[in-house]
């Protein structure tokens, strides 16, 4: 007997799997017609207050490199070299809209503050910012170990991690993280 599900929720798999599109294909096989596919992911990117990507090198507009921008860039590069689906969230629209087994694709990007720096923000935004900051600080040690094991220069990695901690704790620059949500309905095809 094959079971069919009403909802399949896939969250934060990007860095843990190699073939994200295959996961979406497999989901269609066990999702009943009319069932909903929900995707959620946090991009390994950091954005400034204007929601521009933090630079990992000197930028053309004169912005200085951010340690956090450098760290996230190195992590994306490392995961990509390992064949991980680091940037799958950018491909969701093409994969799902191009698949006749899905319809009604929708997507929403939410920029959450990395730290409770939004003085004029709602209480929930400050709480989300504080939690996002704690979670990001919590991955620093493991990120350092992974990058060094992957062959990155230990001194440089240490500078990125130390600088990232300093930026996050000082809330300078003020940073947003991108949370992307997407959904689609299983057709009867």
Q: Name residues whose C-beta falls within 8 Å of residue 135's C-beta, 6 or more positions apart in sequence.
A: none
- What was the pLDDT predicted at 59? 61
- The tens digit of pLDDT for each residue in 90-134 reads 889 999 999 999 999 999 999 999 988 888 878 888 898 999 999
pLDDT at 160 over 90: yes
Cα torsion through 141, 147, 150, 152, rounded to 10: -140
- The tens digit of pLDDT for each residue in 11-53 reads 887 777 788 889 999 999 999 999 999 999 988 889 999 999 8
């Amino acid at each position: 007997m094959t079971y069919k599900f009403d909802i399949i929720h896939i969250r934060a798999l990007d860095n843990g799997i190699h073939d994200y599109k295959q996961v979406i294909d497999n989901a269609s096989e066990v999702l009943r017609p009319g069932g909903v596919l929900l995707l959620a992911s946090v991009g390994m990117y950091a954005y400034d207050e204007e929601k521009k990507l933090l630079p990992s090198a000197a930028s053309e507009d004169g912005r200085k490199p951010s340690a956090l921008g450098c760290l996230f860039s190195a992590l994306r590069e490392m995961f990509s070299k390992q064949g991980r689906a680091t940037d799958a969230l950018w491909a969701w629209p093409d994969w799902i809209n191009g698949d006749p087994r899905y319809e009604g694709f929708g997507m929403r990007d939410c920029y959450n503050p990395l730290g409770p720096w939004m003085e004029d923000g709602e209480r929930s935004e400050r709480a989300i910012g504080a939690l996002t900051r704690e979670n990001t600080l919590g991955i620093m040690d493991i990120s350092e170990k992974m990058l060094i094991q992957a062959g990155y220069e230990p001194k440089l990695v240490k500078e990125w991690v130390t600088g990232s901690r300093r930026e996050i704790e000082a809330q300078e620059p003020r940073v947003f993280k991108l949370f992307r949500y997407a959904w689609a309905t299983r057709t009867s095809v």
